[in-house]
Structure 1
Amino acid sequence: MTTMPAVGEPPELKKYSGPQRAAALMLALGKEHGAPIWEQLSTDEIKELSSSISQLGRLPATVVEYLLVQFTGEVSSMASLHGSYETTERLLNGILPDDKVREIMEDIRGPSGRTMWDKLSNVSETVLAAYLRNEYPQTVAVILSKLKPEHAARVISELPGDFAIDVIQRMLRMDPVQKEIVAEIEQTLKSEFMTNLSRAQKRDPHEVMADVFNALDRSTEESMLTALDACNPESAERIRALMFTFEDLANLLPAAIAAVVKNADKRQMALALKGAPEEMKQLFMGAMTERAAKMLREDMAAMGPVRARECEEAQTELVRLAKSLADRGEIVLVDPKADEAMIY
């Protein structure tokens, strides 16, 4: 049996976490070779690994080859692997019972979190309150008592006034709840609420396309939207409404702007603001110390003339940074789809 030569670690591998690397291995092994491994995993491990596979996206062949060289000599001929909800479901089918596959897929499509209460804490307070207002106040009291206090407070503020007061009074005088009752509530939430929520969370293709347009450079974005205007003006308008742009950063709360400033590359920020209106410059510099703002202005002046394209690319990177911070829960973005809605 010939031994494959050692493959050096590709630079792209650095951006993949441990769970993502494990996901790539399992995706490449497939049903036949992966089945013995899946059978040794706990339900929580299967959920975690399945979630990683479903969000993996495309893997460069060099990364796949490095990870799988000890398993197969054919990986180097592969162009890429693609992890998605569909490939995850196909992989699990035939390895696990249908009801278990359905449970796992609904779980990873829904809000993240190991326990039901973790998951509920990742559900928008508006959505959760809309469901709870139809439940018995005592049941709502039990549920809210299990949530993080800050999330419970936001949910209570979304409930009708009299109903909210009733729930609060019950929370104040609530005795320890029997495990059986909590388990029953968890099961009801899982079967009635989380299942429906995961089904409802399939993304509008216009939202997906808005993300794609956000990643385009400014000139390509404008030309594509102009072309779309000509053949499908309704879709073009919806995409524009869903896009989060550099100008939308002006709607961030001061603390969120400060977080963007703190995490941004200083040269990139200088480039982005050099091509921005004076109000935007003042907004970002207001989140800095006087000395840092002065240094930033000096950096912008020292750059001299720069290409508009460079400024636009830097502005796009600031938008990506803001989205990344929002995804990690470090800041709040104003949702361009609604005047008062917030994305957490």
Structure 2
Amino acid sequence: MTTLTALTRPQKAAAILVAMGKPSASRLLKFFKQEELKALIEGARLLRTIPQSDLERIVAEFEAEFTEGAGLLDSADRMDTILNESLSPEEMSAIMGDKKFEVAPERPQPIWPDLEKLEPARLGTFLASEHAQTAAMVLSKLAPQAAANVLLTMAKPMRGEIIKRMVTMATIPDAAAKIVESQLRSSLLSQAATKDISAGQARVASVLNEMDKPQLEEVMQDLEEAGTPDLDGVRSRLFAFDDLPLLTQKARVLLFDGLSTELVTLALRGAPPALTESVLSAIGARSRRMIEAELGQGSEGIALADIMTARKTIAVATIRLSREGAFELPSSTQNAAA
């Protein structure tokens, strides 16, 4: 960090130009002599982050009026950008003499759309290890649905603290946003690019979920014997109708609240008593009486294929709600023991 006492007059002038921004600074640059511009450029290249309080003192020294202060992180790059847009390459060469002037590179694109493509649980786990203010800033940059999905993967205390900070968050300075973007790009997106196998796991799980329970268990055993890597990631995405008792009561209530009684009745045809009770216990009293009355009439004349299709529909709905962050699927250990 650059201290106020260590700044030269050209550096202070460069700091104020950077703080003013490109439009105003560009107009002023035309009034400087070549040797003055050279001193400004060399001074800017040595600048580091300047505290806002010091910047205000510098501004006071020059008796200038500014409507808004600006952060001075990467001041050299910003000065290069201002000069590059104000002066021609020939003018820059004449000012810098035999020193090569390099055009400031374009800044990378915003990372927020890429973050929205990550698994909510992955981003939630990462943000849970960060400061709540940082997590709030990141989520405020995401689309509402993506931010909601990430929040639902977090523990309630952490979730509440982040939402509270999102409510009271003011405008985020560009400098702060760029620092966070850089950190996310290096520590999260780079890992996702080099080793993100979640898409492959989802594809395999979608195939396995189409199998009956005995077939699924046989295939999973074959995969284990073959030493398939990251098999737990595939197992965590598996769910069958027979696994419904392994869901929490809250999850079952949420699931069946969005399903028709006709579908549930059809799926419960011929189901074991324990499985039937786990489903009926998550349904309202009136709907339960209707389903029990239908089941009491027997399953004669109802095709087994229709029953299996109904069960598959409920299993798919369960997986979808889990992926959306509504609840967690039973752990692989629970599935194996079932």
Report the TM range for the smaller structure's normalisation.
0.3 to 0.5
| Higher RCO (C-alpha under 8 Å, 6+ residues apart) | 2
- Name the larger-Rg structure: 2
TM-score (norm 2): 0.48
Q: TM-score by structure 1 length?
A: 0.47
